[in-house]
């Protein structure tokens, strides 16, 4: 496949670090290792990032506007199109990750420059316009008209990559031909994200300066609204208070009489930061912890790149999100051999089967989350069973090599197919 050349168009790329950005960086690295010629066009973030540089041996072009800008995804559309024109002799297929605005750029560039285009939704609601809804209010009619007009362009793409069933269903509901959709879940490196023994876990806690003895629950990801972290902290406070008082949660005795490790202290670690993102809730979360005197019960790591070490130091992984297309953090936790509790939304439903390889609760259900925390804290046998099944699924379904091969095949199919409609 050494003759295939691909250009990734994405709103953020290294040194911007998030689940989606990291996933695409690893994908581009893997595609390059398979002999594909790769390019990246992205927004110039942070402001002092080089306009042109190689990342992992792959040329990266960063376009205006510079720095964090709430309108950046719109303002970068024209500069991205100009850059794709300048690079037109260096790629055959444009892969767009995050299609709200850049999908239009990718499809137009493919049409005008005689290329192919593959669209990849990075989150739910990107094509339906669901991301425009605010506080449960319906999307205004004029916005729906704009989304419909935009989708008329997006449907001209050669192929569509769906990272989960819910994303595939959204494509189809928006009029995409099912025959042009390929379902390829995100993958992870199961040789890096792997289980460790008790001795290694203890050593990792020492290295990370985490408490040695408590039952350690961990969340990894951006501290943003929509991740359910406000609810998680409320549930955590209730659990701390209940343990102090020796009360019960719907039959789960917290006084120490329940079998297992119910007497073991508890500690929550929030791995990641909100940074300067518009949706960040980091300051609110830290304020909640201070206001409720939870400093000894909750650790904030801030931005970090050693996520795998925190997973290997933990006993339980938590993902209480309101919405997820295909959560990389959950797959990484499963590969690390952790039992997981996650909200039953979006791509989580493709990954977890409640009671078999993890536990799930309805999004926003604080009471049920608390019940599951208490239950798994007390039931070591269940945790072990869930962790074993989770690791097995990660190796079988979500190993990066398997999924990269599928992406290569998708790009090749787009390259071999007809050009994007010339009528655009």
- pLDDT greater than 60 at residue 422: no
Which CATH entry fits the domain spanning 5-187+400-416: 3.90.1150.10, 1.10.3720.10, 1.20.140.10, 3.40.50.2000? 3.40.50.2000
What is the model's pLDDT at position 399?
94
pLDDT of residue 19: 83
Does the domain at residues 198-397 carry the CATH identifier 1.10.150.20? no
Residue 421 has pLDDT above 60, yes or no: no
Q: Which residue is listed with tokens 């850049």?
A: 102
Q: Is 2 left (phi over 0), alpha (psi -120 to 50) or beta?
A: alpha
Average pLDDT over residues 329-351: 98
In the prediction, which pLDDT does 364 show? Answer: 98
State the pairing for strand pair 181-183/159-162. Answer: parallel
Residue 202 confidence (pLDDT) above 70: yes
- Does 198-397 match 5-187+400-416 at the fold level? yes
73: Cβ contacts below 8 Å, ≥ 6 apart: 11, 43, 98, 100, 101, 102
Q: Name the pLDDT band for 16 (thresholds 50, 70, 90).
A: confident
Q: Do residues 37 and 5 touch, judged by C-beta distance below 8 A?
A: yes
pLDDT score, position 259: 38
Instruction: Please tell me the predicted confidence (pLDDT) of residue 251.
Output: 56
Contact 391, 195 (CB under 8 A): yes
- Residues 28-42 have pLDDT tens digits of 999 999 999 999 999
d(C-alpha 56, C-alpha 139), whole Å: 41
Which band of pLDDT confidence, cut at 50, 70 and 90, is reported for residue 72?
confident
Contact 390, 334 (CB under 8 A): yes
The mean pLDDT value for 79-91 works out to 98
> What value does the CA radius of gyration of the chain take, rounded to a whole number of Å?
22
pLDDT at position 248, please?
63
Q: Tell me the pLDDT band of 25, cut-offs 50, 70 and 90.
A: very high
Specify whether the CB–CB gap between 321 and 363 falls below 8 A. yes
Rounded to an integer, what distance in angstroms lies between the CA atom of residue 201 and that of residue 337?
12
pLDDT band at 203 (very low <50, low <70, confident <90, very high): very high
DSSP state for residue 139 in the 8-state scheme? P
- Give strand pairing partners of 59: 54
pLDDT score for 63: 98
pLDDT-based confidence at 245, cuts 50/70/90?
A: confident
Which has the minimum average pLDDT: 231-235, 276-280, 309-313, 327-331?
A: 276-280
Closest CA to 176 of 122, 116, 118, 132: 118
- Residue 46 to residue 86: CA distance in whole angstroms: 23
Please check whether residue 347 is in contact with residue 328, taking contact to mean a CB–CB distance below 8 angstroms.
no
State the pLDDT at residue 1: 52
pLDDT digit string, tens, across residues 99-108: 999 999 999 9
For residue range 252-299, list pLDDT tens digits in order.
655 543 434 468 999 999 999 987 677 899 999 999 999 999 999 999
Cα(191)–Cα(172) distance, integer angstroms: 35
Plot region of 383 (φ>0 → left; ψ -120 to 50 → alpha; else → beta): alpha
Q: Maximum Cα–Cα distance for the chain, whole Å? A: 72
pLDDT 10s digits, 367-376: 999 999 999 9
Which pTM does this prediction carry?
0.87
How much is the pLDDT for 254?
57
Among 64-73, 293-302, 409-418, the minimum mean pLDDT is found in: 64-73
Question: Over the chain, what is the mean pLDDT?
Answer: 93
C-alpha 237, offset from chain centre:
26
Contact (CB, 8 A) for 267 and 215: yes
Q: Reduce the secondary structure of 59-86 to three states and give it as a string.
A: EEEEEEEECCCCCHHHHCHHHHHHHHHH
Residues 6 or more apart whose CB falls under 8 angstroms from that of 306 comprise none
The pLDDT, as a whole number, for residue 372 is: 98
Predicted pLDDT of residue 250: 62
**Spans of all domains in the chain:** 5-187+400-416, 198-397
More confident residue, 140 or 223: 223
Average pLDDT over residues 140-148: 93
The predicted model gives 288-314 an average pLDDT of 97
Mean pLDDT throughout 214-227? Answer: 96
pLDDT of residue 105: 99
Cα–Cα nearest to 309, from 189, 192, 188: 192
Phi, psi of 62 (to 5 degrees): -110, 130
Query: What are the residues whose beta carbons fall under 8 Å from the beta carbon of 58, sequence distance 6 or more?
Result: 28, 29, 32, 38, 39, 40
Q: Which of 81-90, 131-140, 147-156, 269-278 has the lowest mean pLDDT?
A: 131-140
């Amino acid at each position: 496949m050494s003759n295939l050349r691909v250009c990734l168009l994405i709103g953020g790329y290294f040194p911007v670090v998030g689940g989606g950005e990291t996933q695409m960086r690893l994908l581009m690295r893997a595609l390059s290792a398979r002999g594909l010629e790769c390019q990246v066009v992205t927004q110039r973030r942070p402001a002092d990032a080089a306009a042109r540089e190689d990342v992992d041996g792959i040329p990266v072009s960063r376009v205006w506007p510079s720095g964090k800008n709430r309108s950046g995804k719109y303002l970068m559309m024209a500069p991205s199109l100009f850059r794709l024109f300048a690079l037109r002799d260096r790629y055959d297929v444009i892969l767009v990750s995050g299609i709200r605005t850049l999908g239009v750029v990718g499809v137009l560039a493919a049409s005008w420059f005689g290329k192919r285009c593959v669209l990849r939704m990075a989150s739910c609601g990107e094509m339906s316009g669901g991301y425009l809804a605010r506080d449960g209010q319906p999307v205004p009619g004029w916005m729906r008209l704009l989304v419909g007009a935009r989708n008329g362009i997006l449907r001209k793409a050669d192929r569509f990559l769906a990272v989960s069933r819910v994303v595939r269903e959204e494509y189809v509901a928006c009029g995409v031909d099912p025959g042009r959709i390929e379902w390829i879940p995100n993958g992870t490196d199961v040789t890096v994200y792997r289980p460790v023994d008790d001795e290694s876990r203890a050593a990792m806690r020492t290295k990370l300066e985490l408490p040695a003895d408590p039952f350690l629950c961990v969340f990894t990801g951006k501290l943003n609204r929509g991740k359910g972290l406000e609810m998680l902290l409320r549930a955590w406070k209730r659990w701390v208070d209940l343990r102090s008082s020796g009360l019960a949660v719907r039959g789960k005795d917290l006084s120490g009489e329940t079998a297992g490790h119910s007497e073991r202290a508890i500690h929550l670690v929030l791995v990641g930061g909100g940074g300067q993102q518009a949706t960040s809730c980091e300051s609110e979360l830290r304020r909640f912890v201070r206001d409720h005197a939870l400093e000894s019960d909750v650790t904030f790591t801030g931005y970090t790149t050693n996520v795998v070490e925190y997973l290997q130091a933990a006993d339980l992984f938590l993902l209480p999100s309101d919405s997820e297309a295909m959560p990389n953090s959950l797959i990484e936790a499963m590969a690390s051999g952790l039992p997981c509790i996650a909200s039953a939304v979006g791509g989580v439903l493709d990954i977890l089967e409640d009671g078999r390889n993890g536990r799930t609760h309805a999004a926003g259900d604080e009471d049920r989350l608390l019940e599951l925390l208490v239950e798994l804290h007390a039931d070591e046998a269940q945790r072990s069973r869930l962790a074993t099944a989770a690791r097995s699924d990660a190796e079988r379904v979500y190993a990066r090599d398997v999924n990269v091969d599928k992406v290569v095949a998708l790009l090749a199919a787009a390259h071999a197919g007809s050009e994007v409609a010339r009528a655009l």
